[in-house]
Structure 1
């Protein structure tokens, strides 16, 4: 009766025992919220030597069952007061642990995102570095081509002067030749110009010696009859 908040009298006990839902009420009893006052009071009964199931069972089997139930509630109440704070601390720790797990999962997700971004940036860096090396190679190649072009232009400038000189010589020879012949023997003229042109690839002294030898041969073969001294003046 004390556990159910009723007066601990025989009349009240008989009334509740007569209820059809009495057993169900005992099974659904809110044992987690037994007050300290009630727990202390039933503890005083449980500490009595004659409040034992075996002793009470000698009088009534139903009373024995109620005695066992009361003692069980008293033990549960005492243990609950020891265990419940630990249970609450455990729940708090589990809650914190879950928060830490969630935070760790978020950190791992962010780390994976950062690693993916770093991999992307590294790939871009490698591509840019490859492009830089390619541009450097092209720049070096272009610089080399410019240097070669400069040398070629310089060489062509000298070649231009040489060809201009060759043209002057050819024109002089041609004018001398035309002074002597009314009709030009083109075969002889062709050989003469070819000798002058291709002979220009050697030194000036050798060029002049080659020309004189070539012209002398033409005179001997009677291909040319231009006075030799006129050619020699060239």
Structure 2
């Protein structure tokens, strides 16, 4: 009986010591649970904020890329506008030249009958004459066409009617002299159906022309 009393007394002392600590533990645990719950809420809010920041960062990056793309497009467009302005200015000058060229072409078309007539006369009769006589012949034929009211270009030459500038340059590259007489002789060789008669004491122009032919 004495041992039981002593045990109950020891238990009461221990209970009075442990029970407040249990109560404090339970209160601390409850407080900890509340804190952990609050921490979880804050962590969830932080995750939402971080997700929003990531979304905003992606939007910002896209905006920056779009801005850079627009800047490149602006630079490209500005360069194109600058080139277009230069081209427009150049074409404006060309328009005047084209208008004059069209006017000249229309005039040439109107004079094609007389020009072709004089050119055929040159092919038929030019060969035996020197440069001065050829010039006089063209003047006489042109004046006669004007008297007969045949449209003809004043000052026309066989070179301007029957020759191609590119072909003449090719002849010169092949060795044909660049003087008017040599060019006319080359035209006589290449445009006539018969072998032309040409006076060439130095034997250089005719040789070149037959080489071309």
Bin the TM-score by the shorter chain. Answer: 0.5 to 0.7
Whole-Å Cα distance in 1 between the matches of residues 60 and 162 of structure 2?
66
Shift, 1:124, TM fit: 2.0
Shift, 1:149, TM fit: 1.2
- After superposition, give the CA deviation of every residue in 1:77-121 in whole Å (9 maximum; x if it has no partner): 233223322321221112111211221122222212321221222
Contact 2:119 2:162 in 1 (8 A): no
TM-score normalised by the chain length of structure 1: 0.49
Q: Give the equivalent residue in structure 1 for 2:41.
A: 106
Q: Give the equivalent residue in structure 2 for 1:14.
A: none
Q: Give the equivalent residue in structure 2 for 1:151.
A: 86
Shift, 1:132, TM fit: 1.3
C-alpha RMSD of matched pairs (Å): 3.3
Alignment of 1:1-234 (within 5 A): 66-173=1-108, 175=110, 178-179=113-114, 181-182=116-117, 189=161, 191=163, 216=180, 220-221=184-185
Unaligned runs of 5+ in 2: 121-157, 167-177, 189-213
Whole-Å Cα distance in 2 between the matches of residues 88 and 137 of structure 1?
72
Shift, 1:139, TM fit: 1.6
Question: SS at the partner of 1:69?
Answer: helix
Whole-Å Cα distance in 2 between the matches of residues 168 and 219 of structure 1?
27
Structure number with greater Rg is 1
Whole-Å Cα distance in 2 between the matches of residues 218 and 164 of structure 1?
33
Whole-Å Cα distance in 1 between the matches of residues 3 and 19 of structure 2?
23
Given the superposition, is the C-alpha separation of residues 118 and 181 from structure 1 closer, same or farther in structure 2, using an over 3 Å criterion? closer
Shift, 1:143, TM fit: 1.7
